[in-house]
Amino acid sequence: MTEYEVVNWTCEPIEGDDQIELVIEASDGNRWEYGIPYSKGSGRYTFEEIDVIANDFGDELAEEITERLDELVEKLSD
């Protein structure tokens, strides 16, 4: 188990690109940044690292992030 916890995370579209930026900040000062590509045409995205996030930070956070990604991609694909 990790010796730190997530203090903040954001998930926002990258302007001018078909990617969503995910930033996770931990209590020990570490910061993880991901660029998650998506398709406006199909409404799909690829984020294989979600399993790593679940292992490092727990299933609850991974589920929250997945829900947010699903919402954003659906909104951006309209």
Range of the domain at 37: 6-76
46, part of any domain: yes
User: Could you give phi then psi for residue 73, rounded to 5 degrees?
Assistant: -65, -40
Q: How confident is the prediction along the chain (78 residues), in pLDDT tens digits per residue?
A: 557 889 999 999 999 999 999 999 999 999 999 999 999 999 999 999 999 999 989 999 999 999 999 999 999 997
Total tally of structural domains belonging to the chain: 1
30, part of any domain: yes
Residue 9 pairs in a beta bridge with: 24
- Measured CA to CA, the distance from residue 56 to residue 2 in angstroms comes to 6
1, part of any domain: no
Does residue 15 contact residue 69 with C-beta atoms inside 8 Å?
no
Q: Can you give the pLDDT at residue 18?
A: 95
- In three-state secondary structure terms, 71 is helix
